[in-house]
Amino acid sequence: MTQQLRTYRDAVAVVTGGASGLGAALAEQLASFGAVVVIADRQLERARQHADRLCQSGGRATAVELDVRDAAAFDALLQQVMSQHGRLDYLFNNAGVAHSGEARLYSLADWHDVFAVNLAGIANGVQAAYPRMIAQRFGHIVNTASIAGLIPSPGLVSYSATKHAVVGLSNSLRCEAAAYNVRVSVVCPGFLRTPILEGGAFGRMVQPIPSLMADRLWKRLRPAEASACAAHTLRCVRRNRAIIVYPFRWRLLWWLNRFSPSLGRFACRKAYESYRRQLEAALKREAALSATHAGETKAAAAAPDPDEADATKI
Protein backbone atom coordinates (compact mmCIF):
# COMPACT_ATOMS: atom_id res chain seq x y z
CA MET A 1 0.00 0.00 0.00
CA THR A 2 2.83 2.41 0.85
CA GLN A 3 4.47 1.79 -2.52
CA GLN A 4 1.12 2.31 -4.23
CA LEU A 5 0.71 5.65 -2.48
CA ARG A 6 4.20 6.78 -3.48
CA THR A 7 3.61 5.71 -7.08
CA TYR A 8 0.27 7.42 -7.61
CA ARG A 9 0.35 10.36 -5.18
CA ASP A 10 -0.01 13.64 -7.12
CA ALA A 11 0.13 11.79 -10.45
CA VAL A 12 -2.16 13.13 -13.18
CA ALA A 13 -4.34 10.38 -14.63
CA VAL A 14 -7.00 10.49 -17.34
CA VAL A 15 -9.49 7.59 -17.29
CA THR A 16 -11.78 7.16 -20.30
CA GLY A 17 -15.02 5.32 -19.71
CA GLY A 18 -14.52 6.40 -16.13
CA ALA A 19 -18.19 6.84 -15.21
CA SER A 20 -18.93 3.14 -14.75
CA GLY A 21 -17.49 -0.35 -14.51
CA LEU A 22 -13.75 -0.85 -14.44
CA GLY A 23 -13.10 2.79 -15.34
CA ALA A 24 -15.04 4.02 -12.31
CA ALA A 25 -13.20 1.54 -10.06
CA LEU A 26 -9.82 2.68 -11.43
CA ALA A 27 -10.75 6.34 -10.89
CA GLU A 28 -11.84 5.64 -7.32
CA GLN A 29 -8.67 3.81 -6.37
CA LEU A 30 -6.39 6.30 -8.10
CA ALA A 31 -8.09 9.12 -6.18
CA SER A 32 -7.70 7.20 -2.92
CA PHE A 33 -3.94 6.97 -3.59
CA GLY A 34 -3.72 10.74 -4.02
CA ALA A 35 -3.76 11.02 -7.80
CA VAL A 36 -5.42 13.87 -9.69
CA VAL A 37 -8.06 12.05 -11.73
CA VAL A 38 -9.85 13.24 -14.86
CA ILE A 39 -12.95 11.12 -15.47
CA ALA A 40 -13.77 11.23 -19.19
CA ASP A 41 -16.99 9.68 -20.43
CA ARG A 42 -19.90 10.17 -22.82
CA GLN A 43 -22.14 9.87 -19.75
CA LEU A 44 -21.28 13.33 -18.43
CA GLU A 45 -23.84 13.51 -15.63
CA ARG A 46 -22.83 10.10 -14.32
CA ALA A 47 -19.16 11.11 -14.54
CA ARG A 48 -19.89 14.27 -12.56
CA GLN A 49 -21.67 12.33 -9.86
CA HIS A 50 -18.73 9.95 -9.55
CA ALA A 51 -16.24 12.83 -9.43
CA ASP A 52 -18.33 14.54 -6.72
CA ARG A 53 -18.32 11.35 -4.62
CA LEU A 54 -14.55 11.07 -4.91
CA CYS A 55 -14.05 14.71 -3.92
CA GLN A 56 -16.37 14.30 -0.94
CA SER A 57 -14.15 11.41 0.16
CA GLY A 58 -11.08 13.64 0.04
CA GLY A 59 -9.94 12.84 -3.49
CA ARG A 60 -9.19 15.15 -6.39
CA ALA A 61 -11.34 14.39 -9.43
CA THR A 62 -13.02 16.25 -12.26
CA ALA A 63 -15.42 15.07 -14.94
CA VAL A 64 -15.36 15.89 -18.63
CA GLU A 65 -17.50 14.78 -21.53
CA LEU A 66 -15.57 12.77 -24.09
CA ASP A 67 -16.53 10.55 -27.00
CA VAL A 68 -13.33 8.61 -27.70
CA ARG A 69 -14.36 8.29 -31.35
CA ASP A 70 -13.69 12.03 -31.71
CA ALA A 71 -9.93 12.36 -32.21
CA ALA A 72 -9.97 16.16 -32.10
CA ALA A 73 -11.89 16.16 -28.80
CA PHE A 74 -9.47 13.62 -27.32
CA ASP A 75 -6.49 15.75 -28.33
CA ALA A 76 -8.12 18.91 -26.97
CA LEU A 77 -8.79 17.20 -23.63
CA LEU A 78 -5.18 16.12 -23.17
CA GLN A 79 -3.96 19.57 -24.20
CA GLN A 80 -6.22 21.03 -21.52
CA VAL A 81 -4.88 18.58 -18.93
CA MET A 82 -1.29 19.44 -19.85
CA SER A 83 -2.00 23.18 -19.71
CA GLN A 84 -3.68 22.88 -16.31
CA HIS A 85 -1.35 20.40 -14.60
CA GLY A 86 1.85 20.61 -16.63
CA ARG A 87 2.11 16.83 -17.04
CA LEU A 88 0.30 13.63 -17.96
CA ASP A 89 1.41 10.60 -15.97
CA TYR A 90 -1.23 8.06 -16.95
CA LEU A 91 -3.76 7.55 -19.69
CA PHE A 92 -6.15 4.70 -18.89
CA ASN A 93 -7.58 4.08 -22.35
CA ASN A 94 -10.54 2.17 -20.96
CA ALA A 95 -13.77 3.09 -22.82
CA GLY A 96 -15.39 0.17 -24.63
CA VAL A 97 -18.61 -1.36 -25.88
CA ALA A 98 -19.72 -4.89 -26.80
CA HIS A 99 -22.23 -6.29 -29.27
CA SER A 100 -22.86 -9.86 -28.18
CA GLY A 101 -24.45 -12.62 -30.22
CA GLU A 102 -23.59 -14.66 -33.29
CA ALA A 103 -21.86 -12.83 -36.13
CA ARG A 104 -24.56 -14.01 -38.59
CA LEU A 105 -26.95 -11.64 -36.82
CA TYR A 106 -24.74 -8.54 -37.08
CA SER A 107 -25.49 -5.60 -39.29
CA LEU A 108 -22.59 -3.70 -40.84
CA ALA A 109 -23.34 -0.92 -38.34
CA ASP A 110 -22.67 -3.36 -35.47
CA TRP A 111 -19.14 -3.99 -36.74
CA HIS A 112 -18.48 -0.29 -37.25
CA ASP A 113 -19.82 0.71 -33.82
CA VAL A 114 -17.57 -1.72 -31.96
CA PHE A 115 -14.51 -0.97 -34.09
CA ALA A 116 -15.00 2.80 -33.73
CA VAL A 117 -15.01 2.74 -29.91
CA ASN A 118 -12.82 -0.24 -29.02
CA LEU A 119 -10.08 0.17 -31.60
CA ALA A 120 -10.23 3.63 -33.18
CA GLY A 121 -10.97 5.08 -29.73
CA ILE A 122 -7.80 3.46 -28.35
CA ALA A 123 -5.78 4.74 -31.33
CA ASN A 124 -7.16 8.25 -30.78
CA GLY A 125 -6.01 8.13 -27.19
CA VAL A 126 -2.55 6.89 -28.12
CA GLN A 127 -2.24 9.55 -30.81
CA ALA A 128 -3.16 12.27 -28.32
CA ALA A 129 -1.05 11.03 -25.39
CA TYR A 130 2.05 9.38 -26.85
CA PRO A 131 3.73 12.44 -28.44
CA ARG A 132 3.17 14.43 -25.26
CA MET A 133 4.67 11.66 -23.14
CA ILE A 134 7.67 11.44 -25.48
CA ALA A 135 8.17 15.19 -25.12
CA GLN A 136 8.08 15.04 -21.32
CA ARG A 137 10.13 11.79 -21.32
CA PHE A 138 7.78 9.86 -19.05
CA GLY A 139 4.25 8.51 -18.88
CA HIS A 140 2.30 5.27 -18.92
CA ILE A 141 -0.45 4.34 -21.39
CA VAL A 142 -2.71 1.58 -20.07
CA ASN A 143 -5.06 0.15 -22.70
CA THR A 144 -8.04 -1.97 -21.65
CA ALA A 145 -8.49 -5.05 -23.82
CA SER A 146 -10.05 -8.28 -22.51
CA ILE A 147 -9.42 -11.98 -22.11
CA ALA A 148 -11.33 -12.02 -25.41
CA GLY A 149 -8.21 -10.44 -26.89
CA LEU A 150 -6.10 -13.47 -25.91
CA ILE A 151 -8.35 -16.45 -26.67
CA PRO A 152 -11.07 -17.30 -29.22
CA SER A 153 -14.40 -15.80 -28.15
CA PRO A 154 -17.38 -17.08 -30.16
CA GLY A 155 -20.48 -15.02 -29.51
CA LEU A 156 -18.29 -11.92 -29.22
CA VAL A 157 -16.62 -11.92 -32.62
CA SER A 158 -16.48 -8.16 -33.28
CA TYR A 159 -15.54 -7.43 -29.67
CA SER A 160 -12.85 -10.12 -29.73
CA ALA A 161 -11.43 -8.77 -32.99
CA THR A 162 -10.94 -5.31 -31.48
CA LYS A 163 -9.47 -6.66 -28.27
CA HIS A 164 -6.96 -8.84 -30.13
CA ALA A 165 -5.99 -5.70 -32.04
CA VAL A 166 -5.58 -3.70 -28.83
CA VAL A 167 -3.28 -6.40 -27.41
CA GLY A 168 -1.17 -6.31 -30.58
CA LEU A 169 -1.11 -2.52 -30.61
CA SER A 170 -0.05 -2.36 -26.97
CA ASN A 171 2.69 -5.00 -27.21
CA SER A 172 4.16 -3.42 -30.34
CA LEU A 173 3.97 0.13 -29.00
CA ARG A 174 5.57 -0.98 -25.74
CA CYS A 175 8.68 -2.08 -27.67
CA GLU A 176 8.91 1.29 -29.45
CA ALA A 177 8.04 3.42 -26.44
CA ALA A 178 10.80 2.03 -24.21
CA ALA A 179 13.34 4.11 -26.15
CA TYR A 180 11.55 7.28 -24.96
CA ASN A 181 11.03 6.17 -21.34
CA VAL A 182 7.29 5.78 -21.98
CA ARG A 183 5.54 2.68 -20.66
CA VAL A 184 2.65 0.76 -22.24
CA SER A 185 0.54 -1.97 -20.63
CA VAL A 186 -2.62 -3.79 -21.65
CA VAL A 187 -5.29 -5.01 -19.25
CA CYS A 188 -7.13 -8.22 -20.15
CA PRO A 189 -9.88 -8.87 -17.61
CA GLY A 190 -12.07 -11.92 -17.64
CA PHE A 191 -15.77 -11.37 -17.07
CA LEU A 192 -16.38 -8.55 -14.62
CA ARG A 193 -19.57 -7.57 -12.84
CA THR A 194 -20.04 -4.45 -14.99
CA PRO A 195 -22.53 -3.19 -17.61
CA ILE A 196 -20.31 -4.63 -20.36
CA LEU A 197 -21.95 -8.02 -19.66
CA GLU A 198 -25.04 -6.63 -21.38
CA GLY A 199 -23.10 -4.65 -23.98
CA GLY A 200 -22.23 -1.59 -21.95
CA ALA A 201 -24.11 1.68 -21.94
CA PHE A 202 -23.71 2.05 -25.70
CA GLY A 203 -23.48 -1.56 -26.88
CA ARG A 204 -26.23 -4.09 -27.38
CA MET A 205 -27.11 -7.76 -27.39
CA VAL A 206 -27.82 -8.71 -31.01
CA GLN A 207 -29.01 -12.08 -29.71
CA PRO A 208 -31.00 -11.56 -26.50
CA ILE A 209 -30.77 -14.25 -23.83
CA PRO A 210 -33.81 -15.27 -21.73
CA SER A 211 -33.37 -13.72 -18.31
CA LEU A 212 -33.41 -17.01 -16.38
CA MET A 213 -30.68 -18.46 -18.59
CA ALA A 214 -28.67 -15.22 -18.39
CA ASP A 215 -28.72 -15.43 -14.59
CA ARG A 216 -27.46 -19.03 -14.68
CA LEU A 217 -24.80 -18.17 -17.28
CA TRP A 218 -23.38 -15.24 -15.30
CA LYS A 219 -23.25 -17.40 -12.16
CA ARG A 220 -21.29 -20.07 -14.02
CA LEU A 221 -18.88 -17.48 -15.42
CA ARG A 222 -18.37 -16.13 -11.87
CA PRO A 223 -17.81 -12.50 -12.87
CA ALA A 224 -15.27 -10.75 -10.68
CA GLU A 225 -15.79 -7.41 -9.00
CA ALA A 226 -14.48 -4.38 -10.88
CA SER A 227 -12.90 -3.02 -7.70
CA ALA A 228 -10.76 -6.14 -7.29
CA CYS A 229 -9.68 -5.97 -10.94
CA ALA A 230 -8.80 -2.28 -10.55
CA ALA A 231 -6.66 -3.00 -7.47
CA HIS A 232 -4.80 -5.78 -9.29
CA THR A 233 -4.38 -3.57 -12.37
CA LEU A 234 -2.84 -0.71 -10.42
CA ARG A 235 -0.42 -3.05 -8.66
CA CYS A 236 0.70 -4.44 -12.03
CA VAL A 237 0.91 -0.99 -13.64
CA ARG A 238 3.19 0.11 -10.80
CA ARG A 239 5.41 -2.89 -11.64
CA ASN A 240 5.25 -2.07 -15.36
CA ARG A 241 3.73 -5.41 -16.37
CA ALA A 242 3.13 -5.75 -20.11
CA ILE A 243 -0.04 -7.90 -20.05
CA ILE A 244 -2.34 -7.85 -17.03
CA VAL A 245 -4.85 -10.72 -16.78
CA TYR A 246 -7.41 -10.93 -13.97
CA PRO A 247 -8.64 -13.08 -12.28
CA PHE A 248 -6.12 -15.92 -12.19
CA ARG A 249 -8.43 -18.64 -13.55
CA TRP A 250 -8.58 -16.86 -16.91
CA ARG A 251 -4.80 -16.99 -17.11
CA LEU A 252 -5.05 -20.77 -17.18
CA LEU A 253 -7.18 -20.64 -20.33
CA TRP A 254 -4.80 -18.12 -21.87
CA TRP A 255 -1.82 -20.38 -21.10
CA LEU A 256 -3.68 -23.35 -22.61
CA ASN A 257 -4.31 -21.37 -25.80
CA ARG A 258 -0.64 -20.32 -25.96
CA PHE A 259 0.58 -23.89 -25.38
CA SER A 260 -1.73 -25.36 -28.03
CA PRO A 261 -3.84 -22.97 -30.13
CA SER A 262 -5.74 -25.89 -31.68
CA LEU A 263 -6.59 -27.25 -28.23
CA GLY A 264 -7.65 -23.76 -27.13
CA ARG A 265 -9.96 -23.43 -30.15
CA PHE A 266 -11.38 -26.90 -29.47
CA ALA A 267 -12.16 -26.03 -25.83
CA CYS A 268 -13.79 -22.72 -26.79
CA ARG A 269 -15.83 -24.35 -29.58
CA LYS A 270 -17.12 -27.09 -27.27
CA ALA A 271 -18.05 -24.56 -24.60
CA TYR A 272 -19.90 -22.46 -27.17
CA GLU A 273 -21.73 -25.47 -28.62
CA SER A 274 -22.96 -26.31 -25.13
CA TYR A 275 -24.08 -22.70 -24.67
CA ARG A 276 -25.96 -22.75 -28.00
CA ARG A 277 -27.84 -25.94 -27.08
CA GLN A 278 -28.89 -24.37 -23.79
CA LEU A 279 -29.93 -21.15 -25.53
CA GLU A 280 -32.04 -23.00 -28.10
CA ALA A 281 -33.73 -25.01 -25.35
CA ALA A 282 -34.39 -21.85 -23.32
CA LEU A 283 -35.87 -20.06 -26.35
CA LYS A 284 -38.15 -23.04 -27.07
CA ARG A 285 -39.36 -23.06 -23.46
CA GLU A 286 -39.96 -19.31 -23.61
CA ALA A 287 -41.89 -19.66 -26.88
CA ALA A 288 -44.01 -22.47 -25.42
CA LEU A 289 -44.81 -20.42 -22.33
CA SER A 290 -45.74 -17.43 -24.51
CA ALA A 291 -48.00 -19.61 -26.67
CA THR A 292 -49.67 -21.06 -23.56
CA HIS A 293 -50.18 -17.59 -22.11
CA ALA A 294 -51.60 -16.33 -25.43
CA GLY A 295 -53.99 -19.30 -25.58
CA GLU A 296 -55.21 -18.69 -22.03
CA THR A 297 -55.72 -15.00 -22.78
CA LYS A 298 -57.70 -15.83 -25.94
CA ALA A 299 -59.83 -18.37 -24.12
CA ALA A 300 -60.56 -15.92 -21.32
CA ALA A 301 -61.57 -13.28 -23.86
CA ALA A 302 -63.91 -15.71 -25.65
CA ALA A 303 -65.61 -16.94 -22.46
CA PRO A 304 -69.06 -15.42 -21.75
CA ASP A 305 -69.22 -12.72 -19.10
CA PRO A 306 -71.11 -14.11 -16.07
CA ASP A 307 -72.68 -10.70 -15.41
CA GLU A 308 -74.01 -10.53 -18.95
CA ALA A 309 -75.40 -14.07 -18.68
CA ASP A 310 -77.25 -13.15 -15.46
CA ALA A 311 -78.63 -10.02 -17.10
CA THR A 312 -80.01 -12.10 -20.03
CA LYS A 313 -81.80 -14.45 -17.62
CA ILE A 314 -83.47 -11.50 -15.91
Catalytic position from the list 130, 159, 180, 272: 159
- DSSP designation for 1: -
Q: Reading across the β-sheet that carries 243-246, which strands appear in turn?
A: 60-65, 36-41, 12-16, 90-93, 140-144, 183-189, 243-246
Q: Are 97 and 114 in contact (CB under 8 A)?
A: yes
DSSP-based three-state secondary structure for 37: strand
Q: Are 66 and 41 in contact (CB under 8 A)?
A: yes
d(C-alpha 199, C-alpha 119), whole Å: 16
d(C-alpha 25, C-alpha 32), whole Å: 11
d(C-alpha 97, C-alpha 109), whole Å: 13
What is the DSSP code string of 133-183? HHHHT--EEEEE--GGGTS--TT-HHHHHHHHHHHHHHHHHHHHHGGGT-E
Number of Cβ within a 10 Å radius of residue 274: 10
159 carries an active-site annotation: yes
Q: Return the beta strands (E) in 166-250 as ranges.
A: 183-189, 204-205, 243-246
- Alpha carbons within 13 A on the beta-carbon side of 190: 18
Number of Cβ within a 10 Å radius of residue 277: 10
Bridge partners (DSSP) listed for residue 187? 144, 244
d(C-alpha 238, C-alpha 201), whole Å: 30
Catalytically active residues, by annotation: 159
